A = this chain, B = another copy of it.
Amino acid sequence: MIQAGVLGATGYTGFELVKLLAGHPAAETAFATSESYADRSLEDVFPAGPSLDLIPVQSAPLERADVVFICLPHGAAAPMAIVALEAGARVIDLSADFRLRDAGAYTRWYGLEHPAPHLLDGAVYGMIEFARAELPAARLVANPGCYPTSILPPLQPLLKAGACAVGHTIIADSKSGVSGAGREPKQHTHYVEVATNFSPYAIGRAHRHLPEMEQALNWWSNSAPELIFCPHLLPAPRGILSTIYVSLADGWGEADLRSLYDGTLAREPFLRLLPAGQLASLAHANFTNRCVFSITVAGETLILTSAIDNLIKGAAGQAVQNMNLMFGLDETLGLPGSRM
């Protein structure tokens, strides 16, 4: 059994990870840490969850771990990655610390000196479908952000194939359930503020997931479009739906697009292009590791709707899928929703 350490097990992401590992046939949680609930049981925090002792992060026996999942805030994650790598573990970081390859960009967007700039070059951006070749040898994987995981997969084949009109902006209008805002109570996550409300935030070119997405778009195309990204807070516990507007290059129609996706994504166990006439919704993806998307062509605009579970495919599930590939396992092991 792969021995996994989980740093930060009492956030929504960390807890989801512990649940997935509890059902994984080839890996198990060797230890789990918590700052706020150290020396208590995970069951005290999530009463239907697995029973598991929580230890302070300083006591984590990193040397016993084959892999360490870091579910800590950005800034706090990178220093632990250094320690875990030195202890001989491989690291999957679910924070933002290793997503941007450029330490300067990190500073601009996160307001911090990067705590471990020497590790950036070796970090693999773990968006599975486009990182397969690098994962078996990877020692440090940056697990992608939740919004990018709902937006990038259906865009990559378009960019690679030159299907996007050059010079036209791509618009991603995303809606996320409240678990994406973290478990720490804030005014804007108070039940009464959210329950009958719906609100945009950090729209345009202001959200920290924007540079992460544009970095990937530029990997995939020399003439990548600029991105406008508008996230919204949805009165629902979990799930992200992104409605994405792409100006098509001349000559691309729905049949060409279906053929493109069939050629590139058809064998992906967790991606699903819906048949014509169906649109993605949270109900297509929640509680699974899937990214489910649809295509609709209106004039020269392609409208994609794309759904994921932000805590599974958008975080813990993708992290487990990364682990599976790093350790040479079937990538679907322990993950709900495989289509293979």
Residue numbers of A with Cβ under 8 A of B are 12, 46-48, 169, 171, 173, 175, 178-179, 183, 185-187, 189-201, 203-205, 226, 228, 230, 232, 234-239, 241, 243, 245, 279-288, 290, 292, 296-301, 303, 305, 337
Inter-chain contacts of A195 with B (CB < 8 A): 178, 191, 195, 235-237
Q: How far is the CA of A230 from the CA of B212 in the complex (A)?
A: 26
Contact yes or no, A198 B47, CB < 8 A: no
Shortest C-beta distance, A205 to chain B (Å), equals 5
Closest residue to A204 on the B side, CB-wise?
B298
Whether the Cβ atoms of A190 and B198 lie closer than 8 Å is no
Q: Which residues of B contact A243 (CB under 8 A)?
A: 173, 200, 203, 230, 232
Q: Which residue, A178, A183, A191, A297, has most C-beta atoms of chain B within 10 A?
A: A191
Q: How far is the CA of A290 from the CA of B198 in the complex (A)?
A: 16
A234 adjacent to B190 (CB under 8 Å) = no
| Chain B CB within 10 A, most for which of A171, A187, A232, A280 | A232
B12 contacts A192, CB within 8 Å?
A: yes
- Distance from A182 Cβ to chain B, minimum over Cβ atoms (Å): 9
Given contact pairs A203-B303, A234-B198, A47 touches B185 in the complex (Cβ within 8 A)? no
Name 20 A/B residue pairs within 8 A (Cβ), A-sorted. Answer: A46-B283, A171-B245, A173-B173, A178-B195, A183-B192, A189-B192, A190-B190, A191-B194, A192-B238, A195-B236, A197-B236, A198-B236, A199-B281, A199-B282, A203-B243, A203-B298, A203-B303, A205-B298, A228-B245, A228-B301
Besides the known contacts A197-B283, A234-B234, 13 further A-B residue pairs in the complex with CB atoms under 8 A apart = A48-B287, A171-B171, A178-B191, A183-B190, A185-B190, A190-B191, A191-B195, A192-B237, A198-B241, A198-B281, A200-B280, A230-B243, A235-B236
Task: Give the residue name and chain of the B residue nearest to A195 (CB).
Answer: B237
Tell me the minimal C-beta distance from A21 to chain B in angstroms: 15
Contact check: which of B194, B285, B298 meets A228 at CB < 8 Å?
B298
Collect the chain B residues with CB atoms within 8 Å of residue A234's CB. 198, 234-235
Q: Which of A46, A190, A203, A235 has the most CB of B within 10 A?
A: A190
> Which of B175, B245, B284, B301 meets A48, CB within 8 Å?
B284
> Is A203 touching B245 in the complex (CB atoms < 8 A)?
no
Q: Give bound CA distance, A198 to B198, whole Å.
A: 12
Q: A243 vs B232: C-alpha distance in the bound complex, in angstroms?
A: 10
Given A173-B243, A192-B189, is A48 in contact with B290 using a C-beta cutoff of 8 Å?
A: yes
What's the minimum C-beta distance from A255 to chain B, rounded to whole angstroms?
A: 16
Query: A191 — which chain B residues lie within 8 A by C-beta?
Result: 178, 189-191, 193-195, 235, 237
Complex Cα distance, B282 from A46, in Å, reads: 11
With A296-B203, A301-B228 as contacts: A47 and B281 at CB distance below 8 Å = yes
CB of A199 within 8 A of CB of B279, answer: yes
A226: chain B residues within 8 A (beta carbon): 299
A228–B248 Cα distance when bound, in Å, is: 14
Nearest B residue to A298, CB-CB = B204
What is the CA–CA distance of A196 and B230 in the complex, to the nearest angstrom?
Answer: 21
A287 contacts across to B, CB distance below 8 A:
48
User: Which chain B positions have C-beta within 8 A of A185?
Assistant: 185-187, 189-190
Of A203, A288, A298, the most chain B CB neighbours within 10 A belong to: A298
